[in-house]
Amino acid sequence: MRLNLNIKTAGLMLLALASAASAAPRLGLSTATVGTINTLPGQAGPTQTVQAYNLGDGSLALTATSSASWLSATVGAKTACGQAGGGCYAVSIALNTASLPAGAYTEFITLTDPNAVDSPQDIAVTVNTTGVPSSIQAYTTAFGGTDSNAIFPVFTTGTGVKGTIAVNSGGNWLNFLDGKSGLISSPAPWLIQVAAQVGQAPGTYTGTVTISGSSVATDNKVITVTLTVTSAPIIQLNNTSVRLSTYQGGGPQYSWLTFNNAGGGTLAISAAAGSQKFLTGTVSGNQVLVTADPTGLTPGVYNGSITITSNAANNAQVSVPVQLVVATPGVPVIFSGGVVNAANGAAEAVSPGDIVAIYGSQLAATGTAATNATTPLAKTLGGVQVLVNGVAAPLFFVSPGQINFQIPYTLTGSVTVQVVSNGQNGNLRSLSLNGTMPRLLFFVSFISGNYGVIVNAADGSLTLPTGTVVPGFATHPAKPGDTIVLYGIGFGQTTPGAVEGQASTAAPLQTIAGATATFGGGFGGRATTVNSGFTGLTPTAVGLYQANITIPADTPLGPSVPVTLTVNGVQTNNVNLAITATGK
């Protein structure tokens, strides 16, 4: 039986992806988001309350900091509560928004206890101080186009509010989605719909929305509505804002902005300009790489924006707020939600022996990019250790922003994870372990379509659609009767038992019983299931599992056939592979 092909390459693909803990308080929140809170220009918003929970032992000693001067928080005393045995702490959030110009704002309260697990944590607070605007500008395609309608919320705060609509031309393109009787309960958003009508030609149309009768005088206003029906591109942002974290003296931080074209033609982005010296944008096709460089910045919070220039009809409306948080140098910090499954990047439970990624700041010295090239895997790499329940774990890869490590096979339940970088202890994050948490590997960057890391055992090719180019590999579809090798992580302990950090053996093989594969689930309403010929650790690799599957004769055919594994009763994620009748 041929069990394994190109194991070194499979391991590199993996690296390129994405018992009770000691007594300590553990921070939890009733919510990580507050708002949108609507308030009027010149007025303070109502105080908001979030509950902080101690999910561990002892007591929390929380401090609250804010990313903006209009936002502040006070942490109350510990009280008994049913949600957490360690007590509740009411966090009162003050919205000092009177000085804010009309607009929408999102800022952050950060709660910190240096001795607590899962600290720090952010609470995102969003306020809208727009009230009733003086004008609305809408862009749509013609009737039946990609996006022929748009909806705009308008917030009133008084009672007895009435609304009327008038259009100058173009038919019935302006309406309320609520308040059609002329009266809605308040405070409430009026949903104003702009929708191109049948036969409405490209052009510019105007209308008005009149808000009247409100007990709050600033609600009563005539809103001018302008509709542009166009065949040109209409740019839509997939990112409403960007927040990046770094430290004084650290390297630049990056984030991608992505856009959709809701109109006609071809969207072309020609420039991306940063509003502050620390902020730049680089155009790459219809994406923009945001770079925030902390050079010369002291610890603090810095705000700016990236303004996009394109050929879209609504080009003038496109600007993305960017916030850069610069921390004090020297202390490694694991981000909230930054301990994730290495296969899919999800902050979820993992299994003993699983491969886990940590994302954070100052996890290693600037410029570090260290990879363990030999086994057993070292537990100190690039001056860095990862402690799981206080014990050093085997390391695959270490850098300032990411670490990949292996969970010991002997642990169960909830554990703590901590980074120690050049002798400096970082914060603690919690992680839950299940006996089995299988996940199949898939290509996450240069191949779209959720295709699995799946090898044809006959010739070592990748089971991708004809014509797909992967440097160093042959690629072609599989066919019924072929034996394929699916690679994954998190399949759990084997027989004979595995030891973290050590290469798995070929004699004896380290196996797992009871695995099945299902092809085509949800694919044309038909699926086929087959038992695995071999499931276990890939010989010579660390923490990498494989399942050898012979494709059944009645398996659905196509360029993207979904396949899942079920390991010890637990189903994996879906990945795709190409299957044709001839394998060509």
Q: Which residues are paired to 414 by β-bridges?
A: 432
Output the pLDDT for position 82: 85
DSSP reduced 3-state for 75: strand
pLDDT above 50 (res 4) = no
Output the pLDDT for position 377: 96
306-365 pLDDT, tens digit per residue, is 999 999 999 988 899 999 999 888 889 999 899 999 998 899 999 999 999 999 989 998
The full set of domain ranges for the chain reads 27-128, 135-229, 237-326, 352-433, 437-579
Going by C-alpha positions, the residue among 396, 405, 394, 410 that lies closest to residue 429 is 405
Share of the chain above pLDDT 70, in %: 93
pLDDT above 80 (res 514) = no
Output the pLDDT for position 178: 59
> Is the domain defined by 237-326 classed in CATH 2.60.40.3170?
yes
Distance CA 100, CA 109 (A): 18
Output the pLDDT for position 286: 83
Q: Please give the average per-residue pLDDT across 204-218, as a whole number.
A: 90
DSSP reduced 3-state for 545: strand
DSSP reduced 3-state for 103: coil
400-428 pLDDT, tens digit per residue, is 989 999 999 999 899 999 999 999 999 99
State the pLDDT confidence band at 522, using cuts at 50, 70 and 90: low
- Give residue 386's identity as a one-letter amino acid code: V
Q: Do the two domains 135-229 and 352-433 of this chain adopt the same fold? A: yes
Distance CA 195, CA 229 (A): 9
395-398, strands of its sheet edge to edge: 333-341, 355-361, 402-406, 395-398, 370-371
pLDDT above 60 (res 182) = no
**Of the ranges 171-180, 442-451, 495-504, which one carries the lowest mean pLDDT score?**
171-180
State the pLDDT confidence band at 160, using cuts at 50, 70 and 90: confident
State the pLDDT confidence band at 525, using cuts at 50, 70 and 90: low
How many helices, marked H, and strands, marked E, lie in the chain? 1, 42
Q: Check: CB of residue 478 under 8 Å from CB of residue 485.
A: no
pLDDT above 70 (res 258) = yes
322: left (phi over 0), alpha (psi -120 to 50) or beta: beta
pLDDT above 90 (res 130) = no
The overall average pLDDT reported for the chain is: 88
Greater confidence (328 vs 188) lies with 328
Q: Please give the average per-residue pLDDT across 444-472, as a whole number.
A: 89
Tell me the CATH number for domain 352-433. 2.60.40.10
- CATH fold, domain 27-128, is Immunoglobulin-like (2.60.40)
Share of the chain above pLDDT 90, in %: 65
Distance CA 561, CA 379 (A): 40
Output the pLDDT for position 15: 39
Q: What are phi and psi of 267, to 5 degrees?
A: -70, 130
Q: Please give the average per-residue pLDDT across 103-128, as a whole number.
A: 92
Q: Please give the average per-residue pLDDT across 501-507, as a whole number.
A: 94
Greater confidence (251 vs 559) lies with 559
State the pLDDT confidence band at 64, using cuts at 50, 70 and 90: very high
Output the pLDDT for position 14: 45
Output the pLDDT for position 488: 96
- CATH fold, domain 135-229, is Immunoglobulin-like (2.60.40)
pLDDT above 50 (res 434) = yes
